[in-house]
Structure 1
Amino acid sequence: MASVKQFQVTFDCAEPERLAQFWSEVLGYVTPPPSPEGQSSAVCTDPTGVGPRLYFQRVPEGKVVKNRVHLCVRSGTGLVGAERLAVLEAECARLVALGAVRLRLLPADEENESCIVMQDIEGNEFCVD
């Protein structure tokens, strides 16, 4: 049985190039130059080759319900308490400046550390954790 070595995360969206550029800024990924004739898809990739390729495909319908899969931007790994919150808030502010929307803070509990739920520029939810 073969094992999977790489995977791609695919987003349905209205503006593939714009969303690819947003996620490139969020994750430090790179995007190839856009085609002059316009495209119905776009990609961004991790320049180190470690992270998954993100693929954005234009679809005619808009987002209707909460997405069932989301990305987590891991900025506070290994941190707890006030130190973690400060790092999460700083990353949240950077992402808001890129066009993301802050939805809510999920405070730490007995099982999970704090995280911030956000939306990208097309309304897809993601977490800063």
Structure 2
Amino acid sequence: MTNRLVGITIDCADPARLASFWSAMLNVAVTDEHSGDGEWATVGSRRDARPRLTFQRVPEPKTVKTRIHLDLQVDAIDAGRRQVEALGGRWSGIRHDYDEGSVLVMHDPEGNEFCIVEYFDQHGQPPGSTLPGQRQSPRPST
């Protein structure tokens, strides 16, 4: 049997708002794969090569740290942070620098955690980042 990850569903208060945010972050269109009742919104399609993101309206608010999160590779960590903030997200203030790259922990407009990651080149040369942070090297193994 062959299994394939086709989507990730995120509980939220405003599916359209989060779909718009993630559509802009990923440069992937919001699609109409669910009824137009406002309870669901989807970025991408189940026919795409990469998993789609589906946002499902739920009555209860987010109350604890997210147990799973998305990592988005960006070309430049500073520009990635500015993009997130311009779209209504925010930086948590947490930054990790490893031999292979830099990571910022971000929040989408509803407070769901995700990371933006800038990988260094094959020689480990860091970009000209201006954000404050501490160097943590090497990355701990799990």
TM tier relative to shorter chain: 0.7 to 0.9
Q: Which residue of 1 aligns with 2:4?
A: 5
User: Across the two proteins, how many residue pairs are aligned to each other?
Assistant: 116
Rounded to whole Å, the distance in 1 between the matches of 2:105 and 2:98 is 16
TM-score (norm 2): 0.72
Q: Which residue of 1 aligns with 2:110?
A: 122
CA deviation after TM superposition for structure 1 residue 36, in Å: 9.9
CA deviation after TM superposition for structure 1 residue 51, in Å: 1.9
Please identify which structure carries the higher strand content. 2
CA deviation after TM superposition for structure 1 residue 95, in Å: 1.3
The CA deviation string for residues 93-115 of structure 1, in whole angstroms up to 9 with x for no partner, is 011100110112423246x6320
The CA deviation string for residues 54-99 of structure 1, in whole angstroms up to 9 with x for no partner, is 11111010000000111111115xxxxxxxxxx1111110111001
Q: Which residue of 2 aligns with 1:106?
A: 95
The answer to which structure, 1 or 2, has the higher relative contact order (CA under 8 A, 6+ apart) is 1
Q: What residue ranges of structure 2 are gaps of 5+ in the alignment?
A: 118-142
CA deviation after TM superposition for structure 1 residue 32, in Å: 2.8
1:33-112 counterparts in 2 under 5 A? 38-45=37-44, 49-76=48-75, 87-109=76-98
* Cα-Cα RMSD: 2.4
Rounded to whole Å, the distance in 1 between the matches of 2:35 and 2:69 is 31
CA deviation after TM superposition for structure 1 residue 17, in Å: 1.0
Q: What residue ranges of structure 1 are gaps of 5+ in the alignment?
A: 77-86
